[in-house]
Amino acid sequence: MACALGGAGPALAQNQDDPSLPSEAIAPFVIANVEFTLLHELIHVLIDEAGIPVLAREEDQADYLTAVTLLSNQTGFPVLPSQKKLPGVNEWPPESGPLTHSAIQRMQAIIDAWRVEWTISEQDGMALPWADPHALEIQRLYDMVCLTYGRDPKHLEDFRIENELPQERAEFCEQDFVKAERGLEFIKTTLKNSAKTPLVDSGHMPPDFTIQLKFEKVISPVHQQYKLWLTNASIITPLIEALNRNYYMPRPITVRFRVCGQPNAFWEPKDAKVNMCYELLDRFVHLSRFRQKYAEDRRKNALGMAKANGAFK
């Protein structure tokens, strides 16, 4: 059962009085960034398995399609209130229209993480990784703001302003979102048409040709806490179930949460495995300590200044 991101409850903690465990208050931030990272890696899987041509930097393509999957009318996935059961197969996708509050919260958490990463690197005087296959954190931040705004520009003007997206970029965001949404649909159609395994159960893939989720055993109480968060309060399980309904894999894919020795997430095409490292969650917990100062306060100031300046026009 998936819980609402805004309402972390007792099910998320092993021992709420244990000061060595991360606070439930930061669970929504950590979970949102894990969901984005996992889906980003699964987009790499879809690109590889469908044989999709990569016409530019693949990491940018993965970021765009990840955002679209979380936001699209056709493929978006809501976070459900804890008192509700997961929807049946025929209830996906969610209703169209303005973005839900939980969807905006999730994207804001992801955007704030990039803001904090960029601010820390600036303050520490770190050398910019110009040769990295990923865009700079600040560029990824603005791409996510643009795509979120482009999904629903009529209702997200304050969101655009507080995240400091310039108007000259914002003018193209709705068009950018539509193009990325079209690309995601192309991947879905390509995988469906190239499926080599007969469909069963009214269009569903056999269990041997699905994305399978595994949590490897962990010893650390902190990592056990993360596992509780991900199993009780994230959209990871229903997300993977929905991907299995909408995409046809030519071979089984395994997503495994495990201890890696580094804060990372990566797709291994040879072994057909997506590795999600618990150490990456450690990193998100670290970033959460700076969210108020480097992201939330900055957003409030940007929106306040814009409204104050507008009052004198």
**Is 52 strand, coil or helix?**
coil
Q: pLDDT at position 74, please?
A: 56
pLDDT beneath 70, residues of the chain: 1-17, 73-97, 194-208, 311-313
C-alpha 8/C-alpha 227 separation (Å) is 14
Output the 3-class SS for 9-44: CHHHCCCCCCCCCCCHHHHHHHHHHHHHHHHHHHHH
Q: pLDDT at position 93, please?
A: 42
Q: pLDDT at position 1, please?
A: 29
Percent of the chain, pLDDT > 90?
A: 57
C-alpha 213/C-alpha 127 separation (Å) is 37
**pTM score of the predicted model:** 0.86
Sign of the C-alpha dihedral, residues 178, 137, 61, 97? Answer: negative
C-alpha 109/C-alpha 132 separation (Å) is 24
Q: Phi, psi at residue 255, to the nearest 5°? A: -105, 120
Residue 40 is encoded by which pair of tokens?
């980003």
Q: Tens digits of per-residue pLDDT, 135-186?
A: 999 999 999 999 999 999 999 999 999 999 999 999 999 999 999 888 888 8
Q: pLDDT at position 16, please?
A: 59
